[in-house]
């Protein structure tokens, strides 16, 4: 994997995937979808990028030690509101994911 964009749901990760797909470079949005395991995911994104809202909950640093990481910093409000609109209370899950995103090694890009 060349690079990984991580963020909460509703933080424009799909837009970023489209923006960063150009000039022979491809960036997936949620490339893990459809993969049966992390090895399949790693093969799928080899030489590409992924903009993802769930991968922060996995040990991606171990799997992709050389990947450039960008963390989209946002509040949980938009994600929680979207969850409520879909009939789900996801505040606790988004709080956990936000803490994980905030803990990603200093030196990685936070935008």
Tell me: the pLDDT tens digits for 76-102?
999 899 888 989 998 999 999 999 999
Looking at residue 20, the DSSP 8-state letter turns out to be T
Phi, psi of 110 (to 5 degrees): -115, 125
Residues paired with residue 106 on neighbouring β-strands, in sequence order = 108
Q: What is the pLDDT of residue 44?
A: 96
Beta pairing class for 49-52 and 27-29: parallel
Neighbours of 52 (CB within 10 A): 24
Q: Is the pLDDT of residue 74 over 80?
A: yes
Q: Is the pLDDT of residue 108 over 60?
A: no
Beta pairing class for 49-52 and 3-6: parallel
Q: What is the pLDDT of residue 54?
A: 85
Tell me: the pLDDT tens digits for 1-54?
899 999 999 999 999 999 999 999 999 999 999 999 999 999 999 999 999 998
Distance (Å, rounded) from C-alpha 110 to C-alpha 89?
27
């Amino acid at each position: 994997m060349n690079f990984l964009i991580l963020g909460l749901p509703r933080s424009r990760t799909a837009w970023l995937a489209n923006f960063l797909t150009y000039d022979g470079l491809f960036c997936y949005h949620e490339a893990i979808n459809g993969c049966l395991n992390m090895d399949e995911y790693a093969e799928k994104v080899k030489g590409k990028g992924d903009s993802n809202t769930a991968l922060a909950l996995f040990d991606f640093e171990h799997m992709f030690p050389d990947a450039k990481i960008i963390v989209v910093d946002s509040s949980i409000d938009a994600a929680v509101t979207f969850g409520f609109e879909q009939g789900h209370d996801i505040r606790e899950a988004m709080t956990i994911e936000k803490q994980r995103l905030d803990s990603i090694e200093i030196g990685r890009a936070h935008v």
